[in-house]
Amino acid sequence: MPITEQQLLQILPNAGRNAGVFVPALNTSMSRYGIVGTPRIAAFIAQVGHESGQFRWLKELWGPTVQQAGYEGRADLGNTVPGDGSKYRGRGLIQITGRANYAACGEALGLDLVNKPELLEMPQHAAMSAAWFWSTRGLNTLADQGEFVKITRRINGGLTGLDDRQALYDKALKVLA
């Protein structure tokens, strides 16, 4: 069951015109990565909706904040070259972050994201990268089990924005039921 623009706007009213732009990309990417059925789709839309500010931000807003400054030189993110922290800031609907994640995602999607990180700001790649990340982290299984907090930890590394994510999830479950 693909998601419609009307359903997306009911869940993410601040998406505005971007809802229509993203519906085809979301349906293609969710289908490719098995994000099917209400529990999976609701959890996915809630998480990407939060991460992207309801599809308004496809590139992490950069201060840099203290946390963002911490991306620089982080070996676990593969940020080994000076400037990698900013170059490989969060992008796409789920905010892929770090040289290593850009390389892995690019390999999976057939894109040169290491040399062209801005490709993740294009709707089709923003959605597909989010679905790829979701799939590679085993999030369909957690969605089937209703483990929304665990999904948040795997995406965010913590529970930042949990109240907003949960509200979007509750709304998505109602809209998609």
- Phi/psi for 91 (5° steps) reads -140, 160
51 as an active site residue: the answer is yes
Nearest by Cα to 118 from 55, 59, 62: 59
Amino acid sitting at position 146 = G
Q: Which token pair is 31?
A: 């289908």
Please identify which of the residues 51, 60, 118, 121 carries the catalytic annotation. Answer: 51
Using an 8 Å Cβ cutoff, are 100 and 78 in contact? yes
Grouping H, G, I as helix, E, B as strand and the rest as coil, residue 83 is coil
Q: In sequence order, what are the beta bridge partners of 59?
A: 91
Maximal C-alpha separation, the chain:
48
Nearest by Cα to 53 from 23, 4, 86, 12: 12
How far is the C-alpha of 85 from the C-alpha of 75, rounded, in Å?
Answer: 11
How far is the C-alpha of 141 from the C-alpha of 36, rounded, in Å?
Answer: 12
Residues acting as catalytic residues: 51
